[in-house]
Structure 1
Amino acid sequence: MQSKEPLVSIIIPCYNQAQFLEETLNSVLAQSYKNWECLIVNDGSTDNSLEICNIFKSKDHRFLLFDIENKGRSNARNIGLDQAKGDWIQFLDSDDVLHKDKILNSLALQKKKSGMIITDFLRFRKTINKPRRAFCDLSKVDFNYENILLQWELKFSIPIHCGLFKKSILNSIRFNTDLNANEDWCFWLEFYKNEFSTEYVNQKLVFYRMNPNGTVVNFDHMEENTKLAKLHIFNNLEDQYKSMFFNRVIKELSKTKHDFKFYKDNIFYRKVFYKIKRLLS
């Protein structure tokens, strides 16, 4: 391909995913679009992930390896962003898989004002040859800041590797390293504070692994970090959105008395209540 075609930086954070990593990296190697670099950030893995990374690095010069001390997925992604030289950013977790035409078909829809190109996805457990339906239908989603704020995980959520992000918009945006879950939600919100057009590719070009050892299945971990994420989001909202987001939280809490009691008795959430009261007074 000619050099005028945009460079795509594929960022893969990796922590102890050796059993899946080769399949993930092979899906990068198989991309029909060839002008890419792949930044693998080995986040202090204690299995043989580093060995696999080095094999792919020696196989193709487009694979770049960064071996760092374990500080979490968000920090690893941020290091990838700091080092990326591409015009577009493709995130990919080390247990997920890209369709071979993911990047090619995404860039085919880019326009002058495009800042985001989103493709649809499928889920799978052991093999992408036996996929399962996604947990939401992205073809019915209006991709904008307000919807991501108020409907995230209620009507839809977007796996991070569905997106192809314009690098210039990401210059001042990074993942929140204080969160261990729902950091993607915060990242999407920060991105959609900017003005750009979103293109949607109505093709299932991403495979999301239902990993029984993944973070998203540790429910206690997710619950606690979801509360922290909501606090972070609320504290960073413009006033016009605070009451709307507050109403969303109240509706969710009203479903379970236990959760409502936690929020009511928690000093941080009491501060949220007081802020809302002042806003509405």
Structure 2
Amino acid sequence: MLKISVLMSVYNKEARLKESISSVLSQSFQDFELIIINDGSTDKSGEICEYFRKKDSRVRVYHQENKGVSYTRNLSIKMAETEFISFLDADDTYEKTFLENMLRKIGNKDVCYCGHFYIGNKKRKAKINFKSGFILMNYLKNTTTPNTNSWLIRKSFLLKHDLLFREDLNFGEDMLFFANLLKQSKDVQCVKKRLTNYHLEIEGSLSENNIDKINLDLKWMNILINDILHSKLLVEEKMKLTKIMINYRIPGGIIYRVYQNCEFLIENNLLEEIILNNTPHIVNLKSINGIRSLKLIYFKKKILKIYKNRILHSTN
């Protein structure tokens, strides 16, 4: 029986797909299978997947109509026939010793993570506070936030706790999945190295899409709050986690997006509507997360000042 299944969902990723697959096949630890699900790609991704399937017997390829990343990841989890699973996005890569280091560290535990690099104009370290044990609070505070590629998880642990990706979400489904994973594990292991590479997309400065993400953020965050409140965590833990969500994560997400898109919102006469609709969340921001909270409080003051000035101007 193979030890690890690397799970890859592919949708129109021909640009970096060869590099991504090659980073798996060149691992120093070789006892794995690579399950690739081509989720209805319309570019040459399917052909690339088939090339590697024919080249290496460890590669399994499944083609389907487009059903979304959550459905595809869940299907690959079910297809995995190994002790451990790991994910890799089709435009990201592993460092050569990722599987070796992760397997050595996880031992007889259920969950292990590592740090990652950002790949843009240059390669740089992603900030992360390496913690072990019960790290959900750190995760929700964005101080210990591995990306999707940086985990090794015992499959039986996922089955035991019925952990899958929410297929009714198309944004934040990964954050919700890993938050619920960490809710169930109080003995998380970590490799204090950066062993995966996350490629940054070049984005326009401002867009309606970024603003739409406010409501999408609220959806998965409210689901998580409900999951926490109905979990078997201690009452004190539930209170602390809920406080982080209500007084930091939710208002912080809204404030940051509005601040980053302020010019766009003003140009399109959307600022007042966004502020008004989200005031109940914005006013909940509290200084509970050190310098991160202080920066958000500064952003909050800036956008509320602009908002008030525009209201005064419109009434004169």
Question: Which residue does 2:118 correspond to in 1?
Answer: 123
Measured after TM superposition, the shift of residue 233 of structure 1 is 1.2
Counterpart contact for 1:18–1:52, Cα < 8 Å: yes
Moved more, 90-99 or 239-248: 239-248
Instruction: Normalising by structure 1, report the TM-score.
Output: 0.80
Aligned with 2:153 (options 165, 184, 192): 165
Residue 292 of structure 2 aligns with which residue? none
More deviation, 53-62/187-196: 187-196
Q: Which has the higher contact order (CA 8 A, sep 6+)?
A: 1
- List per-residue Cα deviations over 1:103-148 (Å, max 9, x = no partner): 0111122332x1112111101026xxx41221x2232576523333
Task: Classify the secondary structure of the residue corresponding to 1:208.
Answer: strand
Instruction: Please give the residue correspondences for 1:175-214 in structure 2 after superposition, counting only pairs within 5 Å.
Output: 175-195=165-185, 197-212=187-202
Counterparts of residues 207-246 of structure 1 (less than 5 Å) = 207-212=197-202, 218-238=209-229, 240=235, 241=238, 244-245=241-242
Q: Which has the larger radius of gyration?
A: 2
Structure 1 residue 184 displacement after superposition = 1.3
| Distance in 2 (alpha carbons) for counterparts of 1:138 and 1:209 | 21
| In 1: Cα distance, 2:277 partner to 2:133 partner | 33
Q: Secondary structure at the match of 2:184?
A: coil
Q: Determine which structure has the larger helix proportion and give its number.
A: 2
Q: What is the identity, as a one-letter code, of the residue corresponding to 2:229?
A: E
Question: 1:18 Cα deviation (Å)?
Answer: 0.5
Aligned to 1:78: 74
Structure 1 residue 211: Cα displacement:
2.1
Structure 1 portions without partners, runs of 5+: 267-281
Where do residues 93-172 of structure 1 align in structure 2 (5 Å cutoff)? 93-112=89-108, 114-125=109-120, 130-134=122-126, 136-139=127-130, 143-148=134-139, 150-151=140-141, 153=142, 155-171=143-159, 172=162
In the alignment, is the contact (CA less than 8 A) between 1:253 and 1:260 conserved in 2?
no
CA 1:140 to 1:165, structure 2 compared with 1: closer, same or farther past 3 Å?
A: closer
TM-score of the pair, normalised by structure 2? 0.72
Question: What percentage of residue pairs aligned between the two structures are identical?
Answer: 27
Aligned counterparts of 1:193 and 1:248: Cα–Cα separation in 2: 14
| Residue 77 of structure 1: how far off its partner (Å) | 0.5
**Contact 2:119–2:200 (8 Å) recurs in 1:** yes
The offset of 1:237, in angstroms, is 2.2
> What is the Cα-based RMSD across aligned positions, in Å?
2.7
Gaps of 5+ in 2: 259-271, 282-316
Which secondary structure does the structure 2 equivalent of 1:147 belong to? Answer: helix
Q: CA, structure 1 residues 147+138, in 2 after alignment: closer, same or farther (shift >3 Å)?
A: closer
